[in-house]
Chains A and B, each alone.
Chain A
C-alpha cells in the first residue's frame, strides 16, 4: 500500500491502534483491576468483619457446615470458600434447583462472620466483579454484541502487536539505549519501551483473550465441521471436568467435613485448602471435593482430592485428560486469568497490566504529538479529527480512572436503602465518564489535561478519607488489625493519587517553563504568531509536558 512493507505496516499499526485505542484502554484498565477483583469486592462490602488471624481450617469448616445445615438444608450442591490471601472472609455458596425451563439454578453466596457463625448483611454492590466483567462483557450492551465488539477490538490489538514488532527495526538494541536522560524523552521512546518491556504479556493477553471466545468468533468454521453433538463432545474434550457421582435418591448420614479433611491434610502437608465442593449432600453418593490453591499453570491432579462423605474413603480420581491442543488452550487461559498467581505474582500481573494500559495510552498520545506541529500551522486551527482524538485521549486516559474512582465513591455515599443501588454505582461511573469525555471539548487541551489530572489526584487522595468518614474499615483500623487486603486498597489509592498529583504538578511546571521559554524565541517570529491563531500559548505545549508526567505515572 505504501512504498514498502515496513511503511505499510507502520500505517496499519497507526490506524488500527487509533480506531480501537480508547476501547482497548478501557478493556486493559478494567481487566487489570480484575486481578484484584476479590480484594475490591471486599473493600466495597465494608460490613464484612475484619480479618481474624490464626483460625484452623477445621474450625472454619465446622462454622460453615453448621450454617449450611441450618440455612441450606435440602440443597444438593454447596461450597465452602476458605479465607485466603485474596479474600479473608469465610464464604459459603449453594445452588438452588433450577426453575422450570432453566438450565441451572440460582447460585447464592453468603459471607460468614467467623466469630458469630452468622451471615453478614452487606450493602448492595456490583463490587470488583462487575468492574472486571466490563473488560469483556462491557456494560449496557447485550452479551452477544459485547463479545463481538470485544473480539473485534482484540483482533485489532493482535494486529497492532504483530505490526508493532514488524515496524520496530531494532527491537532489542533499542531497549537498552532508552534515552532516559534526555530532557524530554519522546513519546515514541516511551511507547517503545512500554511495548517491548512486556511484549510477551501483550501478546499472551491478547491472543488468550481471543481464545476465550474461540467458538463464538470462529462460529462459521466450527459449524461447518461439527453438528450439535460433536460440538459438545469437542468442548468436553477441551474443557474436561472432574467427574462425580449423580444423586442416588437414597438418604444417608454424612461424616463431618472437618473429619474428612484430616485425610486431605496429610496428603497435602499443610493448610493450603482453598475451597470445598459438595455433591449430592445427604445422599449415599455424597462426595466432597477438596481443592487447594492452584500449584500449576495448566493442571496438577494433586490439587484436588475427592472423598466419599458417607464412608470417608478417598476416591481415586481418573486425572482429567487434556489433549495437547487443550493443554495449550487452557494454559493460555490460565495465564490470562492468573488464578495460579500468589501475592507477588498477582502484583506483577497488576503492574504488567498497567504497562499494557500505559502502552495504549502512550500510543494514542503519540498519534497527536506527531501531527501536532503540522496541525498547529493550519490557518483555521487543528482539524476536527485531531481535536476529537485529543479530546478523547484526555477524557479516557485521565477521565476513565476518575470515573472508576467515582464508582467507589458511589459505593460509599449512595443511600444504603436506595432502590437499584448496585446498578446506580455503575451509572455514576458511566455518567461521570461521559462528562469527563465531553469536558475537554470546551477547554484548551493543555488546560484540560492539567485540570483533569488535578481532579484525578483529588478524588484518589480523598477516597481513603471518605472511607474513614463513612465506615470503620479505614486505614487506621485495617493497619492495626493487620488486614492487608483492606489496608492495601486504601494505600494503593493514596499511591495512585500521589502519582496523579505528581503528574499534575509536572504538567503545570512544564507549561510554565514552556510558556516562559517561548517568549524570547517568539520575538523573532512575532509576525507569524500574530497572523496565525494556531500558536495560541494554551494549545502549544499541550502534550509535551504530559509525556513527562505520564512516564512517572506508570
Chain B
C-alpha cells in the first residue's frame, strides 16, 4: 500500500492542477445544478414552474463557466474547493428555505 501511494506521487507538483481541474469540472457542475434549483425557486411565482426551471437550466452554462474561471483564478486549490462547496451549500439551503415558504415540493 505505501508503495502504491508513493506511486501516486502525491507530492508531485501536478496534483494541485489535477485537483483544480476536477474542481472546475465536477465541482462546477454540481454548483451550476444547485444554482438552477435556486433560480427556479426564486422565479417560481413570477413565471410559473416550468418556465422557472427552464430559466434556471439555461443559466447553468454561464454559472458553470464563471465557476470554472473562478476556480482557476484563486490562489490556492483548497480555497477553490471550499468556495465551490460553500456556494453550493448556500444555494441548496436557500432553495430548501424557499421551498418551505412556497410550499412547493419538487
Contacts and interface: CB of A to CB of B under 8 A. Distances in A.
A155 B37 CA distance: 20
Contacts of A207: 61
A325 B69 CA distance: 26
Nearest to B61: A210
Interface string A304-332: 00000000000000000001111011000
Contact of A224 (B61, B69, B72, B106): B106
B57 A221 contact: yes
A324 B106 contact: no
Interface stretch (A4-12, A175-183, A248-256, A368-376): A4-12
Interface residues of B, number: 30
Contact of B33 (A5, A166, A224): A224
Contacts of A325: 47, 51, 54-55, 58
Nearest to B75: A1
A225 B51 contact: no
Contacts of B53: 221-222, 225-226, 234
Interface residues of A, number: 35
B84 interface: no
B74 interface: yes
A438 to B, nearest CB: 28
Given A221-B33, A225-B106, A226-B106, A11 B54 contact: no
A459 B37 CA distance: 53
B61 to A, nearest CB: 5
Interface string B47-76: 111110111111011001110110011110
Contacts of B50: 230, 233-234, 237-238, 323
A214 B58 contact: yes
Q: Is the interface of A mostly helix, strand, loop or mixed?
A: helix
A159 B21 CA distance: 13
A221 to B, nearest CB: 4
A8 B106 CA distance: 39
Given A155-B61, A158-B61, A325-B58, A1 B74 contact: yes
B37 A162 contact: no
A12 B71 CA distance: 10
Contacts of B65: 155, 158-159, 162
Contacts of A210: 61
A218 interface: yes
A224 B74 CA distance: 31
A166 B69 CA distance: 10
B58 A329 contact: yes
B73 A9 contact: yes
Given A12-B69, A237-B50, A221 B58 contact: no
Contacts of A211: 58
B72 A9 contact: yes
A215 to B, nearest CB: 7
B47 A220 contact: no
Contacts of A1: 20, 72-75
Q: Which of B32, B49, B66, B69 has the most CB of A within 10 A?
A: B69
Given A155-B65, A225-B37, A218 B51 contact: no
Interface of B: 20, 29, 32-33, 36-37, 40, 47-51, 53-58, 60-61, 64-66, 68-69, 72-75, 106
Given A159-B69, A218-B60, 19 more contacts: A1-B72, A9-B73, A12-B69, A155-B65, A162-B65, A211-B58, A214-B57, A221-B32, A221-B60, A224-B37, A237-B54, A323-B47, A323-B48, A323-B50, A324-B47, A324-B51, A325-B55, A326-B54, A328-B58
30 contacts: A1-B72, A1-B74, A1-B75, A5-B73, A8-B72, A9-B69, A12-B68, A158-B65, A159-B68, A159-B69, A166-B69, A207-B61, A210-B61, A214-B57, A214-B58, A215-B57, A221-B32, A221-B33, A221-B36, A221-B60, A224-B33, A225-B37, A225-B106, A226-B106, A233-B50, A234-B53, A323-B48, A325-B54, A325-B58, A326-B51
